[in-house]
Amino acid sequence: MTAWLAGLRGWRADLAAFALGVLSAAALPPVFALPILLIAVPGLLLLIDGSRGRAVAARRGWWFGFGLHLAGLYWVTEAILVEVARFWWFVPIAVPALSATLALFIAPAAAVARCARAGWPRSLALAGAWMLGDLARQFVLTGFPWNLWGSDWEFPGRLGDIFIQPAAWISIHGLTFLTVLLASIPLLGWRWRVGGVALVAVWAAAGLLRLDELKPTSPPGLNVVLVQGDVAEGQKWDRALALSIFRRYLGLTREGVAEAGSGPRVVVWPETASPFLLEPDRGARQAIEAAAGGAAALIGAVRFGPQGRPRNSLFALKGDGSIAAIYDKWHLVPFGEYQPPWVPIPVQVVPGGGFARGNGPATLHVPGLPSVGPSICYEDIFPGEIIDGTDRPDWMVNITNDAWFGNSTGPRQHLAAARMRAVEDGLPLIRAANTGISATFDAHGHELARLGLDRTGVLIVPLPGKLPPTLFSRFGLPVPLAIAGAALAVGLLGGRRGAPVCLQS
């Protein structure tokens, strides 16, 4: 079988790479078929082994990446179907175009791996180059670090808690590196297989030790009331329904506050939950605070800046209804929130130039609350970019609206991203989602409570304590960058004298 795969040429090799990429997507949340990678990654390496040069290896890597992202991002089509009357023509284009673009970050990894000697050097070079590609796609063209293989270890429950703990040191990118390296072991000798088993054992032991020995600070004694209105995306901006939607959120807030009791509380509404503009509408703010019983509230709503452009914002309201602070989303969604200047096709959903961008990560200091680091929607998929490192908060809150993506893998993968940020930064994370999944994670990334998809309700959770700053929260993305660089250097130089083949004259 291995000889057959390595001997494939032309379109047959490309098709095999594509099929292996599609297969590898089953390892992602929420399926977690991690053993699939023991077939997919060795298959890709065999195709690289059999390629006649870097260009052919790059092409096969691209086809693998295209299959991975095509299967892993199918749910993006759900968002287009919400506006199908306007964007029907974009349905067959969007996911293939996005997948083809993201595959461009895997193609160079395959080409670089072809420069290394077959065997462990090529596996190490592939893992390092793959990691560099993931780091690059966090920033290129505004960034979209989705389908990261480090998330394959986020199993539900304690098993997942154990295996994601190293993200506190090396981030999800480091977990991706280890995943690629371990998945390539079936092609190597028995010593490497024994070493792989030992690595997994050490990995699990380190995660277990961190879980059991590193204790968070005492909880601050604050109950968080998460409100999930479950408003369908097609109804969300219908002005005829605005008042009924607002009243739904107010009613749920009153129920949640009554259930939470008389202690310190904070109410959290999801992204753009308020259909009314809270800055000029003092009556809307007072209605929220009346429903909250004088508790502080973190409310998702749109606001308009000095130039008249909308901003996707989180309002921190004090107990008297006044505004304590405002956070504006700064990682905007291309097409959904603004028209990228580098794409000539007009597919912008928001008129008037789209949303204006905020100033970056921030820590909000609200009277009566521990300091909070906010993020809105998919901002929480960016490792090392969601908290202000100079003003570390006590907890993080993510407000989102995943109604665009229906009952697909999209909302579940988004939840997994939020969980990983809690581990990386050592902070509890509270997540309020319009149609779900609303959830709470402690500073170890352990899920404490959730309110599932397509449910209307309230989730009341005591805010957990925080952990000391993690290695990754202190030093950030240079940590996985250094790992990738070292792995790539060792892989390219391993087992040979002089420069790698692709650098020799």
Beta strands in 331-456 (DSSP E): 372-376, 395-400, 429-433, 438-441, 447-451
Provide CB contacts within 8 A for 75, sequence distance 6+.
Answer: 405, 406, 408, 409, 410
Within 8 A by CB and 6+ apart from 440, the residues are 224, 226, 428, 429, 430, 431, 447, 448, 449, 450, 459, 461, 464
320: burial class by Cβ within 10 Å (0-12, 13-18, 19+)?
Answer: exposed
DSSP 79-124: HHHHTHHHHGGGHHHHHHHHHHHHHTTTHHHHHHHHHSPTTHHHHH
Largest CA distance in the chain: 76
C-alpha closest to that of 122 among 173, 183, 184: 184
- Number of CB atoms found within 10 A of residue 121's CB: 20
Are the CB atoms for 438 and 398 separated by under 8 Å? Answer: no
Query: Taking the mean position of all CA atoms in its chain, how far away is CA 46?
Result: 30
Say if residues 474 and 452 touch (Cβ distance below 8 Å): no
Q: Rounded CA gap, 354 and 367, in Å?
A: 33
Residues in the chain: 505
- Residues labelled catalytic: 271, 329, 377
CB atoms under 10 Å from CB of 90, counted, come to: 17
